[in-house]
A = this chain, B = another copy of it.
């Protein structure tokens, strides 16, 4: 009930003008204080701050926005369907890390999840949503029109995962390198017929991981057998189906480009009476929370998902506030976690 009273008090002095009066200064001075303008006398600042805090004053975001300021609201757009959203741990972790960081830096998050497909309406809604200071977009398909639209608009934005066609701000991991590490490990452990299960076509991340797979195999002097490549759409069922397609071609290892598909693949193998890792080694990708406790525990590439989300927020805030001329990129390292499955 105490908190209840506090929140009651919120309503008492709720405009900048009221705070100003209480503190014995002008509206402008209060504005300067809450916006960290250096041109304020230190004592005045303290006095104002005290009134602000004791009244639990929070500036009205709508008014602030209208007057040309910022709202402190960041948009998060993840254009994928339900099926992936709740199967891949990537997304909950990402969402969590983005929202947490936003809260830390005193921002709110507005959310758009995978519409079946962008229509003009959705994009318009996001872009012309005057409440947003900036936007974070993850898991794009190639040519997703939202990027061009965002790029053309003046709204600051950051991608999680890179984009080919335009110079944009992004954070990402080095997918090609990751694939290389995974495949090399498989090669080192003596595998000869290494398959791969790819994610979603039209996707940078899928393409890069596949490129890495191909390049590494080629470099090691192995021919790439297209029968050993199948698409799994990043979901467990897809991994199962892809494994079914690949299996007749006698792989002795599989690089599944995420853990959900690795699990699907293992499920298929198990049903065939194939032992993992003895007969076929499986490497996943993501280091999902279940990866360690799964039987067999998954050998997998650990993406710093939380770090990606946090950095995306920081980068976006930086773009919003500093308006730099150059685009910013940041590539994160990932590790191979060796466990039981390969």
User: Does A108 lie at the interface of the complex (its beta carbon under 8 Å from any beta carbon of B)?
Assistant: yes
Residues on B with C-beta less than 8 A from A76 are 111
User: Does A123 lie at the interface of the complex (its beta carbon under 8 Å from any beta carbon of B)?
Assistant: yes
Q: Are A145 and B4 in contact (CB under 8 A)?
A: yes
Q: Are A92 and B93 in contact (CB under 8 A)?
A: no
CA distance A66 to B66 in the complex (A): 8
Binds B, one of A34-42, A82-90, A203-211: A82-90
Contact (A96, B82) CB under 8 Å given A10-B128, A65-B62: yes
User: Does A191 lie at the interface of the complex (its beta carbon under 8 Å from any beta carbon of B)?
Assistant: no
Number of copies of this chain that the complex holds: 2
Residues on B with C-beta less than 8 A from A290 are 236
CA distance A301 to B87 in the complex (A): 20
Residues on B with C-beta less than 8 A from A100 are 113, 115
Q: Tell me the minimal C-beta distance from A90 to chain B in angstroms.
A: 9
Contact flags (1/0) for A130-174 with B, using CB distance below 8 Å?
Answer: 110000000000000100110011000000000000000000000
User: Does A122 lie at the interface of the complex (its beta carbon under 8 Å from any beta carbon of B)?
Assistant: yes
CA distance A129 to B58 in the complex (A): 8
Q: Tell me the minimal C-beta distance from A103 to chain B in angstroms.
A: 7
In the complex, the chain B residue whose C-beta lies closest to that of A119 is B3
CA distance A276 to B8 in the complex (A): 54
Contact (A82, B93) CB under 8 Å given A62-B65, A62-B71, A66-B63: yes
| A interface residue numbers (CB < 8 A to B) | 1, 3-4, 6-8, 10-11, 14, 56, 58, 60-63, 65-66, 71, 73, 76, 82, 85-87, 89, 91-93, 95-96, 99-100, 103, 108-115, 118, 120, 122-125, 127-131, 145, 148-149, 152-153, 236-237, 267, 289-290, 293
